[in-house]
Chains A and B, each alone.
Chain A
Amino acid sequence: MILIRTAGLLGGLLIPALAFAQAPAPVPTPPNAITAPAQKAIGTPSARKRSEALIVLNAKGAALSGNTLVLSGVSSSAILFASRPVRGAGHMSLPDLMALWSTGSFAKDPPNATVSAFAKDGSKVADAVVVLKSVRSEGGKATFDVAVLEGDLANADGPAAVFIDTVWFSLGSDGFNYIGRSQTTTGPGDPAIGSRYDTSTYSGWSNPAPSATGGTPVFRSSPPNGNYGFAPPPPDAYQTNPPCGKPPLLPCY
């Protein structure tokens, strides 16, 4: 009796197992930037030790064919973000950004960038690492001449963003910027960007930004009385006769 019952149980277990075996095996989806966040570095990390600013450009769509990257419905301003010397964010107009390729530091040293595009419903993402060699824009479209280093955008038909991680361009160089509520630089040393010890902790933000001390204002577009009172950023190299040389100085032309 017990045997029969066990056989019945086993049979019951086997039938769905067989049915499952006949169905085609589900194709595993490879990890992408949503399922495995922050595994890919923006651009390609070289021996570079510091990064001054992230530049982000967003668009309604991106298409990569051959050596041309077309951003359609590109936003009219680019976003800048820096973790050091103070945590800050800013934006600059698209023509100002594009000028960097003709007269600015990108003319001689074209930046690497990661292009990332969503599927329309946001469930999938595709990305590519490219060198942005030159840019032109007309009617809400920006066209880049690129060299593809890795990846492709496949059929991603949703909103896209271009992330440029650069040492040659920093907050304060151009555009308008604001100091965030906390800063990640811990002092006179040179904290590593990827290090978790040089950033905040869950229990608190041990290194408040200058704008946090007064209370309400979140951002400040200029230091109070010309003085931060706390870890002032170095003078902006782009504003007055930039010194040039090896990084972190600007390249000499």
Chain B
Amino acid sequence: MRILFVIAALLLSAPAALAQTAPKVIGTPQQPQLVPSMIVINAQGAKIEGAKIANQKLVLEGVAPNAIVFADRPVRAAGHALTAQLLEEWSDSSADSFAKNPPNATISVMNKEKGKVADAVVVLKSPKLEGERLTFDIAVLEGDLGKADGPATLFIDIIDLPVARRTAHRSAWYAGAK
């Protein structure tokens, strides 16, 4: 009985499919769907606040208004996106959003004294942008920033979260030399 229904449904739907005139492209989207694999945010300085493991914050001062994005797929490309728009990745409710699946990142801070650097690996949650101050709730996985006082860079490696993110649609992208 169920099989009959299925056959009937197939027969009914067949003319609709046949009536379509425009050919559909198999598998490939019309535009390259660039998949960001790394996001980099520059700032004038960074520090980790809060002594308790459960209540730590990463504070980026003088954060750049645009973030740099890199893609390895389908082509190697680099681009930039507005930082404010990038942070919307954390407010999205989809399964791959940074709210549900907070990304790991390395925060690297130079010292004003030449040739020294401090870094930490953290999990980034709930960003807050106030003016040029960007704050994340974090869990520190390893390392610590000590008293590093120079420019800071936050590397968010999302190569194992290969999703065409909404940031990618708003970014300006340029291909790497071939």
Contact = CB atoms under 8 A, between A and B. Distances in A.
Interface of A: 32-34, 36-43, 45-46, 48, 51, 54, 56, 58-60, 75-77, 79, 81, 83, 87, 89, 91, 93-94, 114, 116, 118, 122, 125, 127, 158-161, 163, 165, 176, 178, 180-182, 184, 192-194, 196, 199-202, 205, 216-219, 221
On chain B, which size bracket covers the interface?
35 or more
A253 to B, nearest CB: 23
Interface of B: 31-32, 34, 37-38, 40, 42-44, 64-66, 68, 70-85, 104-106, 108, 110, 114, 117, 119, 121, 141-142, 150-153, 155, 157, 159-160, 162, 168-178
A192 B81 CA distance: 26
Contacts of A216: 121, 141-142
28 contacts: A32-B172, A34-B170, A38-B71, A42-B78, A42-B174, A45-B177, A54-B78, A75-B64, A75-B151, A76-B150, A76-B151, A79-B40, A81-B40, A87-B72, A89-B70, A116-B174, A159-B82, A163-B78, A163-B174, A176-B117, A178-B155, A182-B159, A192-B178, A193-B76, A193-B177, A199-B74, A218-B157, A221-B119
Contacts of A91: 42, 108, 110, 151, 153
B175 A40 contact: yes
Contacts of B66: 58, 118, 158-161
Nearest to B81: A122
Contacts of B174: 33, 38, 40-42, 114, 116, 127, 163
Given A79-B40, A83-B72, A180-B157, A217 B142 contact: yes
